[in-house]
Amino acid sequence: MSLELTNLSKSFKDDKVVDGVSLQVPEGKTLVLFGPSGAGKTVLLRLIAGVIEPDNGQIKISGIDVDGAEAEDRNIGMAFQNFALFPHMDAHANIAAPLTAQRKDQSAIQSGVQALAKLLKIDHVLGHKPKELSNGQKQRTALARALAGKPKILLLDDPLRNVDAKLRFEMRLELPRLLSDQNATVIYVTQDYKEAMAFGDEIAVINDGIVQQIGTPEDIYLTPANVEIARLFGDPVINFLDVTLQKDATGVFVLISDKRIDLDANYSHAIGSECTLGIRPECVVFVNQDHENAVPVTVEAETPLNEKTVNLCLTARGREIMASRPSGTDGPENGPAFVTIEAANAVIFDKQTGALIESEQSTAEGKVT
């Protein structure tokens, strides 16, 4: 089943928590709703599920307007942050509930529950009631229940939030495969950019009830719509340097520590503008002094981060810049050094508004939503 939202809005008193949201999720695809706490993600899921009614807008499932349809008639599986488990039932019975409602035989129920419980590492607590479960176990039980009935649409509200780091990593690998096998249309809510990148066919970045950008994980990472989105994706965080775009006979460029960094010629329309240059740390590369346009820096610190080595550097003018490289590769630990900027992957933002300045080519192609 496909899912389509058109100009959906919801307010509680004077607080508009969902503001004109329009989204399309094709059948069998996963859309990740990504944003900070209080952005409106959970309310949007509840609107889709039919738990609450919108003030304005339309929800269509497979092209059919579901306005007024009861939650149980929408063929939607839900796993919300508050778990919503049946307190008088053990974990096994909670997971089995949708299968029982579908009148499956006991063999099918048993095999379905066991398979999900084993995958989600809760097979050892199936006989426990919710009050005997940890928050992480409750969350995984709620997720298993949502998956058990193989609904056509799945709404998953931060389902790995209370899961420990090791299991979260495993689930990032296993859960996308499971969702794909079910061929469900999925809306997956998270505040973790790594989950968003791992699970989403597309990501919708939402804040203050407004969708700020929709795109593939690659689009969101490489061409974020504004400075705030750029900050949210990536670890270590993106570097920002205030620059002024310049142009001469050879092309468009900026100066960093009086060294020329050439940019795409399609930024000619922003010449003379005060901008913020966004540079991912992996695009800051240590080089020899004789490298063309090598930028002098001082390496202040070095630290391991996941499978990377990260260096904090200062430019000649005292501006901080982070450089990231794969662990085990050579690089200076401290003191004077030189870097080059891989400008092909740099992004440029308006200094005043923080909005992405698109290249003329990207504007023509309509790349950023």
**For the segment 206-259, what is each residue's pLDDT rounded down to a tens digit?**
999 999 999 999 999 999 999 999 999 999 999 999 999 999 999 999 999 989
Task: Let me know: does 146 contact 154? Beta carbons within 8 Å.
Answer: yes
CB neighbour list of residue 309: distance below 8 Å, 6 or more residues apart? 302, 303, 324, 325, 326, 327, 328, 329, 331
At residue 41, the 3 state secondary structure works out as helix
Q: Which two tokens stand for residue 225?
A: 């719509």
Mean pLDDT of the 177-194 span: 89
Q: CA 275 to CA 264: how far, in whole Å?
A: 15
Q: CA 299 to CA 86: how far, in whole Å?
A: 56
Q: Which two tokens stand for residue 325?
A: 């490289």
Q: Does the pLDDT value for residue 191 go beyond 90?
A: yes
Q: Hey, what CATH topology would domain 232-365 get?
A: OB fold (Dihydrolipoamide Acetyltransferase, E2P) (2.40.50)
Residue-wise pLDDT tens digits, 291-347: 988 999 999 999 999 889 999 999 988 999 999 999 989 889 899 999 999 988 899
Max CA separation in the chain (angstroms): 77
Q: CA 197 to CA 316: how far, in whole Å?
A: 35
* pLDDT at residue 367, rounded to an integer: 55
DSSP secondary structure letters along 99-161: HHHTT--HHHHHHHHHHHHHHTT-GGGTT--GGGS-HHHHHHHHHHHHHHT--SEEEEESTTT
Residue-wise pLDDT tens digits, 31-42: 999 999 999 999
Predicted confidence band of residue 179 (pLDDT cuts 50, 70, 90) = confident
Domain ranges in the chain are 3-226, 232-365
Predicted confidence band of residue 267 (pLDDT cuts 50, 70, 90) = confident
| Average pLDDT value over all residues in the chain | 91
Q: CA 224 to CA 319: how far, in whole Å?
A: 23
Q: Hey, what CATH topology would domain 3-226 get?
A: Rossmann fold (3.40.50)
**Lowest mean pLDDT, pick from 54-63, 153-162, 242-251:** 153-162
Mean pLDDT of the 174-199 span: 89
Location of structure tokens 């981060």: 305
Residue-wise pLDDT tens digits, 93-139: 999 999 998 899 999 999 999 999 998 889 999 999 999 999 889 98
pTM for the whole structure: 0.87
* pLDDT at residue 289, rounded to an integer: 92
